[in-house]
Structure 1
Amino acid sequence: MPFTIIVSLAFIILTDFLFGYRLKKWFQKKGFKTIYLLHSLLFILCVLVIPWVMSKTESPERHLWTSQLIAVIFLFYVPKLLYLVLYGLGYLFKKHLPSLFHIVDFAARGIAIILFIVQLYSITGGRYNYKITNVEVPVTHLPASFDGFKIVQLSDIHLGSYGKNYKGISRLVEEVNGLHPDLIVFTGDMVNNMASEMPHWIPVLRQLHAPYGKYAVTGNHDYGHYVRWDSREAREENMRQFYKNMQAMGFHMLDNTHVPLTCQHDTLWLAGVENWGNPPFPRYGKLDEALRGLSPEAPVILLSHDPSHWRGEVLSHPIPLTLSGHTHAMQAGIQIGNWEWSPSKYFYPEYDGLYREGKQYLHVSRGQGFIGYPGRVGLRPVITQITLKQETE
């Protein structure tokens, strides 16, 4: 934490010093220097307040306040930083191509303003602007009666980030129910840290309906590992309460197990594992246990929170479709038509959308919620409807 605070303070001070240099003509105006200095001191205070808030008694509210402070810092300093980088590039041409320098400077100002507006939208309305995507997946050995079977995948809601703002989650429920899916699955991270984030959302999420039910697995945030518990008993009680709340919401938890879904005497198997991720994330998932008793030809849909599990273990098993979440696509990116970029790609080879290896598929949901930065920049939160299709030769 101290290192992060030092780096953040250095970033703000250096950014404001360089940005202030660009505004030096304005400093001649009465009161401007004082206003600019107070502006910088305010954000320095924000950085210093964050560890103080985090040191208080564990509660969902502290993470909500931290998230809001992070939003304010990002809102003002990311556009500033981008402007300074572009201005610095243009400055290289100032001596020999002054006209190009002025063009770059003007463009940098416009881009920074646009980024400010985009960020402002992302933390006000954009984080609730759900995108519905439809994906068809051919499934090996899929019975004929399940051809066209529709699954809505939800993931990474992070209830603690909403406080008691019901707007986003209520809209999510309406959108999902409007799709009339056969099955709803949730691929982990219902909470930020604590089961106490959940109770007032139970009546809302209980309204999600599908004929074949609602199933879920745990994600890394659901275990309460990021909280300093007073005792092991307190942590275990939090976990028991988490499962109780999930049940109250109508979700059946798949902890390293599987269940049959039957239609006209045909069976589709739904399996789920606990979180399995690369360090520092926990590996509680036991794939062999989840698949125990199933034949290699059985059509299986696997729920596994972290997409790293797919290459780590899943591909060595005859599982035609795995559904994951976890990445959030880092809550930032660019999408133009079918082309997409997100910094998440440098951490996860499979971070958003549908991937294929031979006859095996992985779908990664960038999720509906948010954590840390309370918004989605460029890439909207997504609700995915997956239609299963019989494999064609």
Structure 2
Amino acid sequence: MRYHLVFLWVLVLLVGTIDWLLWRILITKEVQQGWRKWLGVAGLIVLPILFLAGFLYFGLQIPDASSPQVYNSFGTFLTIFLLIYLPKIFFLFVYGVGRLPDALPRKPARQPERHYPRITRAKFLSQVGIIMATAPFVTLLFGVLKGRYAFYTRHLKLSFPNLPQAFDGLRVVQISDLHLGSFGTNRDPLKEAVELINAEKPDLVLFTGDLVNNFAGETRGWDEIFGKINATMGKYSILGNHDYGDYSTWPSEQRKAANFKSIVAANRKLGFKLLRNESISLSKDGDVIALSGVENWGHPPFPQYGDLEKTWSQTNGEAFKILMSHDPDHWDAEVVGKKRYDLTLAGHTHGMQFGFELGKYNWSPAKYKFKRWAGLYQVGKQFLYVNRGLGYLGMPARVGMPPEITVLTLRRG
């Protein structure tokens, strides 16, 4: 709790400083009166207090939350905070950079120079800053209203010399990180996603974890939607770090165990066969490949329920093997060079729900947390694909990192 309070006071100090600087820049002595003065006071005093109270409230509520509504309310609160303060921070950056030359020492001019009044320069920078500060506001607002539902289908073709002939052309659709509680009662977006999945006519649909945010109740009513996903060779799933109920304080271990049991059962109701540290064989025209699913394994603070040794022991010498593992860090820790899985599918990162991609170059804050955070990776003859997630968590927005449906076509190379 002590660290939470320190964070909150640092946050309110930051917010107060931002509003104070804006007051000094935008409100001149001539207008520091009447309604404009009170508007400035509201920004300088009232807003920081309100946001401090909000963060304090949710900081106390979330650990003991008993329903997804608390998480969704915090996401809305955080979005409002960012919509207000991101433009302010952006404005101060633009204004500060523009005024930087004034702070640098200058050599005495040899010839008379024409000097514009300082106030004119300041006003110009203020106007430019205000115009440019609208960019983060509009971008985030678009991410809230449209970006989180702008489903994007990514197609990849991968070749493997050891892929059995009967599986040449196998179409695998991967989805990940549904976080059903974040959608609340809004079913329509994921109906569209299911239509996009079926349009790809997949042989396999593989879901790589995080069905919920925390609670089994989030899955109610979704079976009618996900039950309509069609795959000729089946639909399989694994558990993600959010599926264990670890992000809440439970009144008893029995309640937590009952919640987890219901989440496990929900995978079956939604039409998925859940693989929990186990492997199965998939057969076609006399050829066989292995499909393995390991429980969540991540670096702390993420849980390590995965048992790859147990999972690997259930394979039967198949020439080609696919592994589902929620956290991409698991690939480097226990798979590459240790277990001969040809293709590993992961999720977990969401691409931080923010970033951009220009051709082959992509960037997201996720790259500073995860070594493998989105897209395709290869080490030797082993491949990892990290799905950016179909749902969202926390802030109800996606900016430059659209919800993803991955279609992998496997060829015999």
Q: Same fold (TM over 0.5)?
A: yes
Matched residue type, 1:246 = N
Per the TM alignment, residue 95 of structure 1 is displaced from its structure 2 partner at its CA by 5.7
1:63 matched to 2:71: yes
Which residue pairs with 1:30 in the alignment?
Answer: 34
1:10 matched to 2:10: no
1:268 matched to 2:289: yes
Which residue pairs with 1:346 in the alignment?
Answer: 368
For the residues of structure 1 that align with 2:163 and 2:123, how far apart are their CA atoms? 62
Per the TM alignment, residue 133 of structure 1 is displaced from its structure 2 partner at its CA by 0.6
Per the TM alignment, residue 137 of structure 1 is displaced from its structure 2 partner at its CA by 1.6
Question: Cα distance 1:43–1:260, how it changes in 2: closer, same or farther (>3 A)?
Answer: farther
Query: Secondary structure of the equivalent of 2:395?
Result: coil
Q: Per-residue displacement from partner, 1:224-255 (whole Å, max 9, x unpaired)?
A: 10110000111100000101111100111110
1:369 matched to 2:391: yes
Does the CA-based 8 Å contact 1:139-1:321 persist in structure 2?
no
1:337 matched to 2:342: no
Superposition pairs of residues 121-160 of structure 1, within 5 angstroms: 121-160=142-181
Larger Rg belongs to: 2
Q: Per-residue displacement from partner, 1:272-304 (whole Å, max 9, x unpaired)?
A: 100000011111111111121435553111000
Does the CA-based 8 Å contact 2:288-2:318 persist in structure 1?
no
Q: Percent sequence identity over matched residues?
A: 36
Per the TM alignment, residue 368 of structure 1 is displaced from its structure 2 partner at its CA by 1.4
Does the CA-based 8 Å contact 1:43-1:73 persist in structure 2?
no
Q: Per-residue displacement from partner, 1:43-82 (whole Å, max 9, x unpaired)?
A: 6324413443452651111111111001100111112112
Show structure 1 runs of 5+ residues with no match: none
Question: Cα distance 1:136–1:102, how it changes in 2: closer, same or farther (>3 A)?
Answer: farther
Match of 1:113 among 134, 140, 143: 134
Which residue pairs with 1:52 in the alignment?
Answer: 57
For the residues of structure 2 that align with 1:174 and 1:108, how far apart are their CA atoms? 43
For the residues of structure 1 that align with 2:180 and 2:339, how far apart are their CA atoms? 33
Per the TM alignment, residue 169 of structure 1 is displaced from its structure 2 partner at its CA by 1.5
Query: Secondary structure of the equivalent of 2:80?
Result: helix
Greater mean alpha carbon deviation, residues 144-153 or residues 10-19: 10-19
Q: TM-score, normalised by structure 1?
A: 0.93
Per the TM alignment, residue 152 of structure 1 is displaced from its structure 2 partner at its CA by 0.9
1:279 matched to 2:279: no
Q: CA RMSD in A?
A: 2.2
For the residues of structure 2 that align with 1:116 and 1:13, how far apart are their CA atoms? 20
Greater mean alpha carbon deviation, residues 294-303 or residues 36-45: 36-45
Q: Would you say how many aligned residue pairs link Structure 1 and Structure 2?
A: 391
Does the CA-based 8 Å contact 1:90-1:105 persist in structure 2?
no
Question: Cα distance 1:43–1:381, how it changes in 2: closer, same or farther (>3 A)?
Answer: farther
Does the CA-based 8 Å contact 1:140-1:320 persist in structure 2?
no
Query: Secondary structure of the equivalent of 1:200?
Result: coil
Matched residue type, 1:335 = E
Which residue pairs with 1:94 in the alignment?
Answer: 102
Query: Secondary structure of the equivalent of 2:397?
Result: coil
Matched residue type, 2:359 = G
Q: Which ranges of 4 or more aligned residues in structure 1 deviate by more than 6 Å?
A: 96-104
Greater mean alpha carbon deviation, residues 43-52 or residues 235-244: 43-52
For the residues of structure 2 that align with 1:360 and 1:102, how far apart are their CA atoms? 58
Show structure 2 runs of 5+ residues with no match: 107-114
For the residues of structure 2 that align with 1:362 and 1:298, how far apart are their CA atoms? 18
